[in-house]
């Protein structure tokens, strides 16, 4: 997807603070964090949103959540919140599937 911001970040065309990378996933800090720690995990294969995930993506989605817990722990979070905004009405702005992981703060909206 040549016009996708997150694909450009993965390709190194837009700089980011990388958290993690393997064959399937890429994780990086949100440019506009809403908690002391706020990063996102994306699948390397461009999928626009959770609504575009088909049967057969169960494995990828399961590994995505397990990775969220693993990376949160590695970043020192004893607890964390996840969010997957889906579709315009769901508050999704970037149409490349991503899970937000945030924590480490006592921000009002995290309570
Ligand atoms: P959404 O509302 O689609 O779930 O969230 C998209 C997120 O991507 C927002 O939290 C926004 O701050 C983040 N974001 C947008 N553009 C960039 C960027 O160029 N770099 C990084 N690191 N994050 C971005
Ligand atoms: Zn993309």
The per-residue DSSP string of the chain comes to -TT-HHHHHHTTSS---EEEE-SSEEEEE-SS-SSSEEEEEEESS----GGGPPTT-HHHHHHHHHHHHHHHHHTT-SS-EEE---SGGGT--S-S--EEEEESS--GGG-
> How many structural domains is the chain composed of?
1
Domain of 74, in residue numbers: 1-51+62-78
If you measure from the C-alpha of residue 44 to the centroid of ligand 2, how many angstroms do you get, rounded to a whole number?
Answer: 8
At 108 the pLDDT is 53
Mind listing the pLDDT tens digit for each residue in 37-48? 999 999 999 999
- Inside any domain, residue 41: yes
At 29 the pLDDT is 98
At 2 the pLDDT is 72
| pTM for the full predicted model | 0.95
Confidence of residue 105 (pLDDT cuts 50, 70, 90): confident
Q: 96 pLDDT exceeds 80?
A: yes
CA of 14, closest atom in ligand 1 = 19
CATH value at residue 67:
3.30.428.10
């Amino acid at each position: 997807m040549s016009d996708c911001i997150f694909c450009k970040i993965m390709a190194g065309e837009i700089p980011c603070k990388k958290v993690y990378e393997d064959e399937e996933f890429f994780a990086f800090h949100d440019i506009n964090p809403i908690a002391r720690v706020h990063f996102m995990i994306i699948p390397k294969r461009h999928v626009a949103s959770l609504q575009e995930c088909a049967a057969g993506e169960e494995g990828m989605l399961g590994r995505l959540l397990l990775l969220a817990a693993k990376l949160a722990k590695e970043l020192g979070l004893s607890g964390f919140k996840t969010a997957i905004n889906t579709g315009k009405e769901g508050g999704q702005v970037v149409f490349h599937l991503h899970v937000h992981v945030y924590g480490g703060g006592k921000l009002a909206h995290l309570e």
